[in-house]
Amino acid sequence: ATRFITPLTLRDFRRVLSNPHLWLLSFLFCCFNTAFIAFVTWGPTFLHNQRGISLTDAAFQVSLVSILAIIACPTAGWVSDRIGSRKTIMVWPMVLMGLLLPFCYGAGTSTFLFLVIAIGFVAGFVPTGVFAGAVEAAADERLSGMAMAVIQIGQNTGMLLGPLLFGWLVDFTGGWATGFWVLAPVCLSGAIAGWIAKVR
């Protein structure tokens, strides 16, 4: 408790900004949001253009990703606290997303819906693990705000890059298949970063 008596200094904030494990988590979250937001953004257009589904139905199907993620978040928190690991609920869901997302391209209507449900549920685990792991990686509860700031850099970068990258791939490099398959190495890169990061 005595460590809270000493006021924070610029050195403490620099220590957060130079923490490689926080930046690895931020990169993981960047990869997560790149893939997740790209899928949520372009999924309805894909279903409408390639499967002939109305935009209303297509938007509803893809929205299930976010609905399932909402349900998964508290489940992820419970599992993380139960097993005592943040890394597990960050890394393995990223691996699963990397395996599932590419198959959305060739999936039929019912299979696509199944993949959406699976992706949505596993995706809900990643943010919980990242946020909890970031606070612990900062090693001082008073620096949790700065830790979150580093994570938000990755989050917003991914939200920016995801739709742009996917749209560019669809337009200029061979169509929808390329866009979906590129999401696999994006997710796996994030999983590797999370595995390397020194969090429990």
List pLDDT tens digits, range 154-172.
999 999 999 999 999 999 8
CB 98 within 8 A of CB 183: yes
The pLDDT of residue 142? 75
Q: pTM to 2 decimals?
A: 0.90
Grade residue 114 by pLDDT with cuts at 50, 70 and 90: very high
Q: How confident is the model at residue 139 (pLDDT cuts 50, 70, 90)?
A: confident
Instruction: Quote the percentage of the chain above a pLDDT of 70.
Output: 94
- The predicted pLDDT at position 20 comes to 87
Residue 84 and residue 103: Cα distance in Å, rounded? 32
Q: What is the pLDDT of residues 7-65, one digit of tens each?
A: 766 676 777 777 889 999 999 999 999 999 999 999 999 999 999 999 999 999 999 99
- pLDDT exceeds cutoff 90 at 84: no
Are residues 93 and 190 in contact, defined by beta-carbon separation less than 8 angstroms?
Answer: no
Which residue in this structure is represented by tokens 């097993």? 83
3-state secondary structure of 31: helix
